[in-house]
Chain A
């Protein structure tokens, strides 16, 4: 890095960087594609649309839709859940894990 005699890459890089986050935050604003530059169709929060108020640790069927195969909680950008519901969902999943309704780590 000390041998950088050419200043053109350095001058290009700052010009390139604003367009990078600019391009990412464009589709990132509406939908959150997770790194892609083009539009991924807007995913809506399942709880907001269906007006499910209470996410209880007891309804395992509902919670299993948001848990991966190995038992990990699926991130919000993949499921499209909004922040408040993701937090409640996460809490419910952890409660369910504690009472052995969901596994902590499944398969191998």
Chain B
């Protein structure tokens, strides 16, 4: 997210957060599936992106028939990459035969919004916690002070 401001080598890349979910046909073998995912991850890292996580969501029944298949293997890829790299990745997905459907969702704006909401909630909670702490501290301090003065008087 520190694009043009960051010097030293990185040529003004804006790393954005993306979620790519794609469906692989159900009749591919497990090792082929792994090979496919590894190939895609390689594409991402070659292009300067990072794969945050890969999740195999398993075989699911599709809501409608896609290319004559009723079921498919769902795979979710979470990655931070440049926009042009995503274009390359999508081209690869479109071309690759076992992949029957894919969708790319941009997540960085959503993440920013969620972080903001969480930050607001954290400050709100702290505000409600602080008076309790100061209320506990305040009577604790004057109370022994009062008793001390009373004892001395």
Contact = CB atoms under 8 A, between A and B. Distances in A.
Interface of A: 53-54, 57-58, 95, 97-104, 106
Instruction: Report whether over half of chain B's contact residues are helix, strand or loop; otherwise say mixed.
Output: strand
B63 A98 contact: no
Instruction: Report whether over half of chain A's contact residues are helix, strand or loop; otherwise say mixed.
Output: loop
B21 interface: yes
Contacts, number: 34
Contacts of A102: 63
A100 B62 CA distance: 5
A84 to B, nearest CB: 11
Given A53-B114, A53-B117, A104 B64 contact: yes
Contact of A99 (B103, B114, B117, B118): B103
B108 to A, nearest CB: 13
Contact of B21 (A97, A99, A103, A106): A99
Contact of B101 (A57, A58, A100): A100
B7 to A, nearest CB: 35
A54 B63 contact: no
